[in-house]
Chains A and B, each alone.
Chain A
Amino acid sequence: GESVGLHLPTLSVQEGDNSIINCAYSNSASDYFIWYKQESGKGPQFIIDIRSNMDKRQGQRVTVLLNKTVKHLSLQIAATQPGDSAVYFCADGSNTGNQFYFGTGTSLTVIP
């Protein structure tokens, strides 16, 4: 089946620093990508998405970059805060497919 992987299983950053979480995908047909945040004991929460006709999209303190050439996307969190501590995972899908494929996630810990 399809696989969506994350390069690092854990990431620790100092409060106030920027965080970068990476993700690789394998399906060339994927044209829609989502980043989710999951806090302990809760359901995944939508953060930001990007479609394949874009290479960058910005939200509030978050930016997603997409490199279709190498099938890689990243999530950048500016001025990381303790409340950002969670597991982050990416998902990829397409309008022609019936499901998204999810990575196992990167656990982000923010050190006060």
Chain B
Amino acid sequence: DAGITQSPRHKVTETGTPVTLRCHQTENHRYMYWYRQDPGHGLRLIHYSYGVKDTDKGEVSDGYSVSRSKTEDFLLTLESATSSQTSVYFCAISTQRGDTQYFGPGTRLTVL
């Protein structure tokens, strides 16, 4: 998985609780992305980062926030989890915009 780890790999939480997912890379790539994958949908971009402290929204950013304080770490936070956020979340990295994205192993999140 191209030097990308995600933690936790599985999480079950309750509606209304905050949740933070972590993506860690050892490739020193500038760009990092968070996607969610749901049945019947292609991967959908939540947020991405183009450098330390530089982030921007994707197409499904409502209810999510991100932070990137170091090149290697990109955090995704669900401020108040809802059942609609039950999904598999993937982190990806790339060297530059529009370049090949390499994916992590994913985090399966269940919100009860």
Which A residues are within 8 Å of any B CB, using their own CB? 1, 4, 32, 34, 36, 41-46, 49, 89, 91, 93-105
Do A44 and B41 touch across chains, with their CB atoms under 8 A apart? no
Q: Which residues of chain B come closer than 8 Å to A100, judged between CB atoms?
A: 45, 101
List 21 A–B pairs whose Cβ atoms lie within 8 Å, in order of A's numbering: A4-B42, A32-B98, A41-B106, A43-B1, A43-B90, A43-B104, A43-B105, A44-B90, A45-B103, A46-B100, A46-B102, A49-B100, A91-B43, A95-B98, A97-B98, A99-B48, A99-B58, A99-B59, A100-B101, A102-B42, A104-B41
* Least CB distance, B56 to chain A, in whole angstroms: 7
Do A95 and B97 touch across chains, with their CB atoms under 8 A apart? yes
Enumerate B1-58 residues with CB–CB distance to A below 8 Å: 1, 4, 33, 40-45, 48, 56, 58
Q: Which residues of chain A come closer than 8 Å to B41, judged between CB atoms?
A: 104
The residue of chain B having its C-beta at the shortest distance from the C-beta of A94 within the complex is B98
Interface size on B, residues (CB 8 A): 24
Which B residues are within 8 Å of any A CB, using their own CB? 1, 4, 33, 40-45, 48, 56, 58-59, 90, 97-106
Do A44 and B43 touch across chains, with their CB atoms under 8 A apart? yes
* Least CB distance, A77 to chain B, in whole angstroms: 19
- Out of B45, B98, B103, which one reaches A44, CB within 8 Å? B103
* Least CB distance, B25 to chain A, in whole angstroms: 13
Do B45 and A99 touch across chains, with their CB atoms under 8 A apart? yes
Q: Which residues of chain A come closer than 8 Å to B4, judged between CB atoms?
A: 43
Q: Which residues of chain A come closer than 8 Å to B59, judged between CB atoms?
A: 1, 99
The residue of chain A having its C-beta at the shortest distance from the C-beta of B9 within the complex is A41
Q: Which residues of chain B come closer than 8 Å to A1, judged between CB atoms?
A: 59
CA distance A42 to B102 in the complex (A): 12
